């Protein structure tokens, strides 16, 4: 895991980028605008535009969802909201985000409140949390929200671009991306609710070519098992830079290289994270 300051920096950066990409002009083909520098298009991103990387959501829905998660997390950390709170709580918060006249400002206020609460929480505070291999709860919450916000920033960015971004456009530190892969593979994937099951036992090796991080995933009829140990006996090997793996494994990109058995197509169908 990284440190608290690195997670809070990731949270702050992703929230700012989400707001910017939801409110700045969309990126057309520059050839369509011969006088771009003097007369850029004045319209902002359509809040109802559908994100190519989250096709069930519009930009407004992504922002409202993210702002809700920030507020829900803040409530859980402070004890004002039980972690088991159902849609009667979360839907109400999300509706506030959907109906606000200033979605960007609403998102910013929630992100700032969450950062403030995390900074003021003791490192060893006894907090509820829901993922495996998460470390101390305070830092686990900071980690979760940093990656949650970064992944949904990619959704808003993709809406602005009109397509999923190339990993080279994301400007995400490799160490941060590798940490997000680790949270996904060792935190989310082994949960009992994980849909990533296979008809026969399959071993997949994942390797980040720039950071050197390695994970080995064991799939079958039971919840997946994941270790950080290398294996020389994988049915399928996935590799790419840490950012390529980060975007690709969260199903926000398609730049993972696969050798051996095609398990990646199964991942695309079954490995969606259920919040």
Please state, in angstroms and rounded to a whole number, the distance separating the CA atoms of residues 139 and 125.
10
Q: What is the pLDDT of residue 231?
A: 86
Share of the chain above pLDDT 70, in %: 91
What is the residue whose two structure tokens read 């593979």?
185
State pLDDT tens for residues 171-219: 999 999 999 999 999 999 999 988 999 999 999 999 999 999 999 999 9
Rounded to two decimals, the pTM is 0.91
Q: Which two tokens stand for residue 34?
A: 């011969």
- Is 258 a residue whose pLDDT tops 90? yes
- Is 36 a residue whose pLDDT tops 50? no
Write down the mean pLDDT value for the chain: 91
CATH of the structural domain 187-270, one choice from 3.40.50.150, 3.30.1050.10, 1.10.10.10, 3.30.1330.180: 3.30.1050.10
Q: Which two tokens stand for residue 138?
A: 């305070």
- Is 31 a residue whose pLDDT tops 50? no
What is the residue whose two structure tokens read 């050798």?
259
Q: In what order do the strands lie in the sheet with 236-240?
A: 225-227, 214-219, 202-208, 236-240, 257-260
- Residue ranges per domain, the chain? 4-165, 187-270
- Is 37 a residue whose pLDDT tops 60? no
Neighbours of 109 (CB within 10 A): 15
In the CATH scheme, what is the homologous superfamily, with its name and number, of domain 4-165?
dinb family like domain (1.20.120.450)
Nearest to 254 by CA among 186, 149, 163: 163
Q: Which of 37-41, 66-70, 253-257 has the lowest mean pLDDT?
A: 37-41
Q: What is the pLDDT of residue 32?
A: 45
Residues with Cβ within 8 Å of 197's Cβ and at least 6 positions away in sequence, in order, are 219, 220, 221, 222, 223, 224, 270
Q: What is the pLDDT of residue 122?
A: 97
Please state, in angstroms and rounded to a whole number, the distance separating the CA atoms of residues 41 and 165.
21
- Is 39 a residue whose pLDDT tops 50? no
Share of the chain above pLDDT 90, in %: 84
């Amino acid at each position: 895991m990284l440190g608290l300051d690195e997670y809070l920096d990731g949270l702050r950066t992703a929230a700012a980028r989400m707001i910017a990409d939801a409110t700045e002009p969309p990126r057309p083909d520059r050839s369509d605008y011969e006088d771009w520098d003097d007369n850029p298009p004045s319209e902002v991103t359509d809040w109802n535009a559908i994100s190519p990387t989250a096709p069930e959501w519009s930009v407004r829905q992504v922002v409202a969802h993210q702002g809700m998660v920030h507020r829900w997390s803040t409530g859980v950390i402070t004890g004002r909201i039980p972690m088991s709170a159902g849609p009667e709580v979360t839907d109400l918060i999300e509706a506030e985000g959907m109906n606000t006249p200033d979605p960007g400002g609403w998102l910013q206020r929630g992100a700032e409140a969450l950062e403030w609460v995390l900074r003021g929480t003791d490192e060893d505070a006894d907090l509820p949390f829901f993922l495996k291999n998460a470390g101390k709860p305070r830092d686990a919450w900071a980690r979760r929200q940093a990656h949650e916000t970064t992944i949904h920033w990619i959704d808003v960015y993709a809406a602005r671009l009109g397509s999923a971004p190339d990993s080279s456009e994301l400007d995400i530190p490799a160490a941060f991306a590798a940490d997000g892969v680790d949270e996904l593979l060792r935190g989310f994937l082994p949960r009992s609710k994980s849909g990533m099951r296979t008809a026969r036992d399959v071993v997949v090796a994942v390797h980040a070519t720039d950071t050197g991080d390695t994970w080995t995933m064991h799939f079958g009829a039971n919840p997946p098992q994941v270790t950080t140990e290398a294996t020389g006996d994988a049915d399928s090997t996935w590799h790419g830079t840490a950012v390529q793996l980060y975007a690709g494994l969260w199903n926000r990109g398609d730049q993972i290289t696969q050798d051996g058995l095609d398990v990646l197509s199964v991942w695309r169908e079954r490995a969606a994270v259920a919040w």
